[in-house]
């Protein structure tokens, strides 16, 4: 009689398993999406163009202006670009103009730049993930190569390790330092890209001979031979080829600014203001698209702490 009992319980176990499988694949019983077909994990996104932002305090004000809206999932404010991207539940917020009006009422004129539904966002995410393998971001049509970012990070880590010891990047403090370095390196590369994009747009160029002369003068000023200079770079995890590439970019940018952006006869204060205004406009026209979500988190979201004094108060 033992075998029939075993068969009976075996059959019962199989039936229980089959029932569980049916429940798992039955759309009516699944908890992955509600009955109306809306997936709460796939919100829509609206990007606003915003005027007058100057600091993290401005960003905090804009976020506060949207705090009363039910259905907002996330808000990313990019002060430098003058934009705010809002992820929202389209079932609860049908008219994104109401969000723009709320931001405007807080003291910062806002207009809808673009809207993307969940399907569009999914396609964008897939495309961005592929691009992130080779680049951290794009400035207009110029991509910021991941190899450049990694080369700069290796150099920065090596420099700090040489000063503070190999353990400087360990523990919670090391993690904060790593994040700071990533933000600083990414910001520097993005700012370089903005300059280069604008220079390319206007067609300004230097000849290879111009760049070679500038590099020779750089070594002569420091009383270095090419061999000793290259050896020093290798100790700090940087190749001569990469350094010359970045050096050429710096020379090109500096000469363009001196010759085309800052006319002769300006005081230092006037030069600073002229350059600041020029760069803000160049960044706005170029546009920055982040491929790496960690870089976007570190660079694209300003600190909500602090303010910019009178200009921030005036904006509010």
Question: Can you spell out the DSSP letters for 199-261?
Answer: HHHHT----HHHHHHHHHHHHHHTT--HHHHHHHHHHTT--HHHHHHHHHHHHHHHHHIIIII
Q: How far is CA 294 from CA 179, 221, 223, 298, in A?
A: 9, 39, 41, 6
Alpha helices (runs of H) in the chain, residue ranges in sequence order: 2-25, 56-65, 97-105, 118-131, 146-164, 171-202, 208-221, 226-235, 240-256, 268-286, 293-295, 310-315
Question: Distance (Å, rounded) from C-alpha 125 to C-alpha 122?
Answer: 5
Q: How far is CA 274 from CA 75, 201, 263, 278, 279, in A?
A: 32, 19, 9, 6, 9
pTM over 0.85: no
Nearest CA-CA partner of 154 in 84, 242, 67: 242
Question: Distance (Å, rounded) from C-alpha 111 to C-alpha 100?
Answer: 6
Q: For every residue of 28-46, which 3-state class applies, written as one string?
A: HHCCCCCCCCCCCCCCEEE
Nearest CA-CA partner of 60 in 103, 98, 28, 105: 103
Residue with tokens 């539940």: 89
Residue with tokens 């600091």: 55
Sequence-separated (6 or more) residues with CB below 8 Å from residue 104? 110
Dihedral, CA of residue 67, residue 68, residue 71 and residue 75, to nearest 10: -20
pLDDT values of the chain reduced to their tens digit, one per residue, 316 residues? 444 444 444 444 444 444 443 334 343 333 344 444 445 667 899 999 999 998 889 999 999 999 999 999 999 898 877 889 999 998 899 899 999 999 999 999 999 999 998 888 888 889 999 999 999 999 988 999 999 999 999 999 999 999 999 899 999 999 999 999 999 999 999 999 999 999 999 999 999 999 999 999 999 999 999 999 999 988 888 899 999 999 999 999 999 999 999 988 899 999 999 999 999 889 888 888 899 989 988 886 544 444 555 456 444 5
- Contact in structure between 174 and 168 (CB atoms under 8 Å): yes
Question: Distance (Å, rounded) from C-alpha 174 to C-alpha 179?
Answer: 9
List, for residues 170-181, the tens digit of each pLDDT value: 999 999 999 999
- Contact in structure between 243 and 151 (CB atoms under 8 Å): no
At 135, is the secondary structure helix, strand, or coil? strand
């Amino acid at each position: 009689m033992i075998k029939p009992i075993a068969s009976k319980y075996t059959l019962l176990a199989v039936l229980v398993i089959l029932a569980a499988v049916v429940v798992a694949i039955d759309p009516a019983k699944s908890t992955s999406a509600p009955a109306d077909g809306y997936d709460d994990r796939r919100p829509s996104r609206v990007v606003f163009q915003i005027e007058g932002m100057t600091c993290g305090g401005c960003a905090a004000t804009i976020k506060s202006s949207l705090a009363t809206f039910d259905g907002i999932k996330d808000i990313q404010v990019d002060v430098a670009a003058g934009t705010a991207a809002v992820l929202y539940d389209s079932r609860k917020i049908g008219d994104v103009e109401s969000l723009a009006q709320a931001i405007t009422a807080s003291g910062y004129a806002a207009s809808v730049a673009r809207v993307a539904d969940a399907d569009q966002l999914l396609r964008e995410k897939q495309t961005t993930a592929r691009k992130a393998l080779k680049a951290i971001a794009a400035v207009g049509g110029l991509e910021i190569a991941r190899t450049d970012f990694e080369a700069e990070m290796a150099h920065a880590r090596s420099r700090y390790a040489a000063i503070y010891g190999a353990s400087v990047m360990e523990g919670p403090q090391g993690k904060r330092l790593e994040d700071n370095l990533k933000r600083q390196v990414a910001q520097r590369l993005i700012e370089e890209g903005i300059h280069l994009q604008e220079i390319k747009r206007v067609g300004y160029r230097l000849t290879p001979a111009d760049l070679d002369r500038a590099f020779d003068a750089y070594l002569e000023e420091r009383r270095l031979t090419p061999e000793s200079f290259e050896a020093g770079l290798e100790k700090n995890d940087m190749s001569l080829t990469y350094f010359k590439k970045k050096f050429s970019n710096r020379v090109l940018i500096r000469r363009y600014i001196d010759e085309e952006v800052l006319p002769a006869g300006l005081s230092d204060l006037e030069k600073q203001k002229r350059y600041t205004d020029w760069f803000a406009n160049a960044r706005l026209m170029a546009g920055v698209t982040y491929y790496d979500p960690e870089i976007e988190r570190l660079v694209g979201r300003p600190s909500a702490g602090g303010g910019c004094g009178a200009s921030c108060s005036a904006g509010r």
